[in-house]
């Protein structure tokens, strides 16, 4: 599949074109070779500079690299997103690099479902490394990371108390931590906080993988070789533990399938609303003659009847 075809398929997924689904199904069955790395962290943490450095290193190895950047749903951060993309522009003429933003317009399930399809397309298209970068800060972006086998969380010394700044759920899904802009004051403290939280988590859910915490300065390349080595180590760990890797893969697939089913249901509800099927019920609930639970039960019965 050439780049033009890849880009066209991704656009169709992004726009919610359901007719592309059969193609994606076939492509999924051809995939499974790409190494997919998720990169998350608060705005301004230096994720894009870091991605730029990763691209350079993977390209030096002769690997073909695709980057998918999930843009936040809010229209108010458009500027930052554009700025981030510009930083990677030096790779734009490299045919071994594919850069693509993905708008997070849709619903929760919608974004994760669409991202899964985009990853399947890039995987089947033969890209060796896929870097999935989230630009936003919402729970949506955390959820997306759940479908990725290697997740890098980027923090900053400036994030202050790491205990507060690590978003709920983010710690649980990350496999590698980078404290970027490590030349700033407080980097060691953030790294220590992260290590404490990881130790706390490990006591609850250890599966054998020990999450490394790295100090990086993406802007001058410091710590980037170590970061690439840590990502390699994550995949080597999964290769060396095939049972665990498969169990994790199946957990990811199950979450993904659950969201796809939810999407089907939501489409069914939306159709019902559009056809006026819910108008009387909503009026009854607003009048407190009916209640939300009873209406939900009725709808569920109708859908599953």
DSSP-derived secondary structure for 58-100: HHHTT--EEEEEEEPS-GGGHHHHHHHHHHTGGGTT-TTEEEE
Q: Which is nearer to its own copies, 129 or 142 (CB)?
A: 142
Contact indicator for 51, 129 with CB cutoff of 8 Å: no
Question: Using CB under 8 A, which of 93, 164, 205, 275 touches its own copies?
Answer: 164
Site for its own copies in 209-238 (CB under 8 A): none
Question: Using CB under 8 A, which of 45, 99, 108, 129 touches its own copies?
Answer: 108
Site for its own copies in 72-101 (CB under 8 A): 72-74, 76-77, 79-80
Closest CA to 36 of 139, 124, 140: 124
Question: In the bound complex, what is the minimum distance in angstroms from residue 90's beta carbon to its own copies?
Answer: 25
Question: In the bound complex, what is the minimum distance in angstroms from residue 32's beta carbon to its own copies?
Answer: 5
Question: In the bound complex, what is the minimum distance in angstroms from residue 61's beta carbon to its own copies?
Answer: 26
Crossing angle between the packed helical segments 21-30 and 108-124, to the nearest 10 degrees: 50
Question: In the bound complex, what is the minimum distance in angstroms from residue 50's beta carbon to its own copies?
Answer: 18
Report if residue 277 touches its own copies, rule: CB under 8 A. no
Q: In sequence order, what are the beta bridge partners of 217?
A: 222
**Tokens of residue 175, six digits:** 């496999």
Segment contacting its own copies (CB under 8 A): 54-62, 84-92, 213-221, 279-287?
A: 279-287
**How many chain residues interact with its own copies (CB under 8 A)?**
75
Crossing angle between the packed helical segments 242-274 and 292-304, to the nearest 10 degrees: 100
Contact indicator for 217, 180 with CB cutoff of 8 Å: yes
Report if residue 192 touches its own copies, rule: CB under 8 A. no
Lay out the site mask for its own copies across 241-260 (x = CB under 8 A, - = otherwise).
Answer: -----x--xx--xx-xxx-x
Report if residue 185 touches its own copies, rule: CB under 8 A. no
Question: Across 34-191, where does the E strand assignment appear?
Answer: 35-40, 65-71, 97-103, 129-134, 150-155, 176-179
């Amino acid at each position: 599949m050439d780049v033009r075809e890849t880009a066209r398929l991704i656009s169709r997924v992004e726009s919610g074109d359901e007719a592309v689904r059969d193609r994606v199904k076939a492509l999924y069955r051809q995939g499974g070779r790409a190494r997919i790395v998720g990169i998350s962290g608060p705005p301004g943490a230096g994720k894009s500079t870091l991605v730029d450095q990763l691209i350079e290193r993977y390209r030096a190895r002769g690997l073909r690299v695709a980057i998918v950047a999930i843009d936040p749903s809010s229209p108010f951060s458009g500027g930052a997103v554009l700025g981030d993309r510009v930083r990677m522009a030096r790779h734009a003429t490299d045919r071994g690099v594919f850069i693509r933003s993905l708008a997070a317009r849709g619903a929760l399930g919608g974004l994760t479902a669409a991202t899964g399809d985009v990853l399947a397309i890039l995987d089947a298209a033969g890209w060796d490394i896929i870097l999935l970068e989230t630009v936003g800060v919402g729970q949506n972006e955390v959820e997306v990371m759940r479908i990725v086998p290697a997740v890098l969380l980027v923090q900053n010394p400036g994030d202050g108390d790491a205990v507060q700044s690590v978003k709920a759920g983010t710690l649980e899904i990350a496999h590698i931590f980078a404290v970027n802009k490590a030349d700033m004051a407080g980097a060691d403290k953030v790294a220590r906080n992260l290590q404490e939280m990881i130790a706390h988590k490990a006591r609850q859910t250890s599966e054998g993988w020990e999450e490394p915490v790295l100090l990086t300065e993406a802007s001058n390349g410091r710590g980037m070789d170590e970061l690439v080595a840590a990502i390699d180590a994550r995949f080597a760990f999964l290769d060396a533990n095939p049972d665990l890797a498969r169990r994790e893969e199946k957990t990811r697939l199950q979450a993904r399938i659950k969201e796809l089913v939810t999407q089907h249901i939501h489409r069914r509800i939306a159709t019902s609303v559009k056809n006026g099927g819910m108008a009387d019920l909503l009026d009854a609930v607003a009048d407190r003659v009916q209640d939300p639970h009873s209406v939900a039960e009725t709808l569920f019965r109708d859908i599953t009847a």
